[in-house]
Amino acid sequence: MARAMKTRTARRGVSPRGASASVRKESHGWAVRRAGGLQIVESRALAKLGWLVHGFSTRPGGDSVVDGKPALNLGFTDWDERARVEKNRAAFSAALRAREMPLVALRQFHSDVIHLVSAPPTPAEEAPRADALAARVPGLLLGVQTADCVPILLADTRHRAVAAVHAGWRGTLARIAVKALGRMRMEFGTRPQDVVAAIGPAIGRCCYEVGSEVAQAFAMQFPAAADWFDGPFEQLSHGEEPLWLPWLTMMPPGHVPPPPRVQLDLRAANRWQLADAGVPESQIDVSDLCTACRPDLLFSYRQEGAKTGRMMAAIGVRGGK
């Protein structure tokens, strides 16, 4: 069984303002590359694969407007115009040097459903309902949207197959990353030891508070779960919550303490799952960018609510390779 690992999340990263170089190191193994007025976060591990295109979008730039500033919203949200989002997606693809690669996106619903892509989508085709994509077709760009949840990109270096995964706490609990790896193994012959994984910017342990129901669910599923939580995990995971309701504590209004909470590290949970499934830990690249800590660079649904935008993590096999 894989060793449980904590993912440390820095509250403050390097500010993107004032950077003049086209590529700037952001943190351990990761870089932010400027292209076409946009900033693309890249995994150094995936960037070594010449046959691969990949990238994680950021907030600055684009045709949308959030808080009075230009924003690269890549999701079809209620507050944004579809034409603006489509223009943003085209700019994102161009920044990835994948202008000619059709983008395959999803209607995500926090599931463990993996959609296998075998051909480019038609213009009239509705996006499939799923939370992960897998393909071995050159010339396609697979994308998942996030605004706190964990984006995970998988690349099979032997068979040149790829997957893009969206993992919130429900998807993480359902082991969606490992199920995507299993689907790749079934469809393409992928071996875990041949896979390079990049776990991109997401809400960090520092900012992601959850309640007893989440703590209990993880405790029942994973022997290493305690290593992914800060706070009274043992207490909450065993249902030993203090009597905090006013009518139980007999405390006067205004003096009742809030219900107990714990902080969850979703990136550490997904890293452990991939390592436990056989992906070498040295081939799992984890960003320490927290979406809630970096409103200058990233979108966060928890911090901003429904008015925020959506980022995209994309991966594809270059055509003609």
What pLDDT is attached to residue 251? 62
**Sequence-separated (6 or more) residues with CB below 8 Å from residue 285:** 29, 30, 43, 44, 45, 46, 196, 197, 198, 199
266-276 helix and 176-188 helix, angle to the nearest 10 degrees:
30
For the sheet with 209-210, list strands across it. 209-210, 262-264, 229-230
Residue length of the chain: 321
Per-residue pLDDT at 26 exceeds 70: no
For the sheet with 311-317, list strands across it. 23-27, 30-35, 38-43, 52-56, 311-317, 141-146, 103-104
Average pLDDT for the chain: 89
Per-residue pLDDT at 25 exceeds 80: no
- Range from 86-95, 103-112, 185-194, 245-254 carrying the lowest mean pLDDT: 245-254
**Whole-prediction pTM value?**
0.88
3-state secondary structure the chain: CCCCCCCCCCCCCCCCCCCCCCEEEEECCEEEEEECCEEEEEEHHHHCCCCEEEEECCCEEEEEEECCEEECCCCCCCCCCHHHHHHHHHHHHHHCCCCCCCEECCECCCCCCEEEECCCCCCCCCCCECCEEEECCCCCEEEEEECCCEEEEEEECCCCEEEEEEECHHHHHCCHHHHHHHHHHHHHCCCHHHEEEEECCECCCCCCEECHHHHHHHHHHCCCHHHHEECCHHHHHCCCCCCCCHHHHCCCCCCCCCCCCEEECHHHHHHHHHHHCCCCHHHEEECCCECCCCCCCCCCHHHHHHHCCCEEEEEEECCCC
What pLDDT is attached to residue 256? 60
The b-or-e profile of 247-261 (16+ CB within 10 A means b, else e) is eeeeeeeeeeeeebb
What pLDDT is attached to residue 21? 37
Residue 157's nearest CA partner among 279, 274, 281 is 279
Span 30-38, mean pLDDT? 95
Domain residue ranges of the chain, discontinuous segments joined by +: 23-206+265-317, 209-264
Per-residue pLDDT at 141 exceeds 60: yes
Question: Residue written as tokens 């400027």?
Answer: 34
pLDDT band at 86 (very low <50, low <70, confident <90, very high): very high
| CATH homologous superfamily of 23-206+265-317 | CNF1/YfiH-like putative cysteine hydrolases (3.60.140.10)
pLDDT band at 169 (very low <50, low <70, confident <90, very high): very high
pLDDT band at 238 (very low <50, low <70, confident <90, very high): confident
Report the share of the chain in percent with pLDDT over 70. Answer: 85
- Range from 40-54, 68-82, 118-132 carrying the lowest mean pLDDT: 118-132
What pLDDT is attached to residue 239? 78
What pLDDT is attached to residue 259? 74
What pLDDT is attached to residue 243? 52
Per-residue pLDDT at 232 exceeds 50: yes
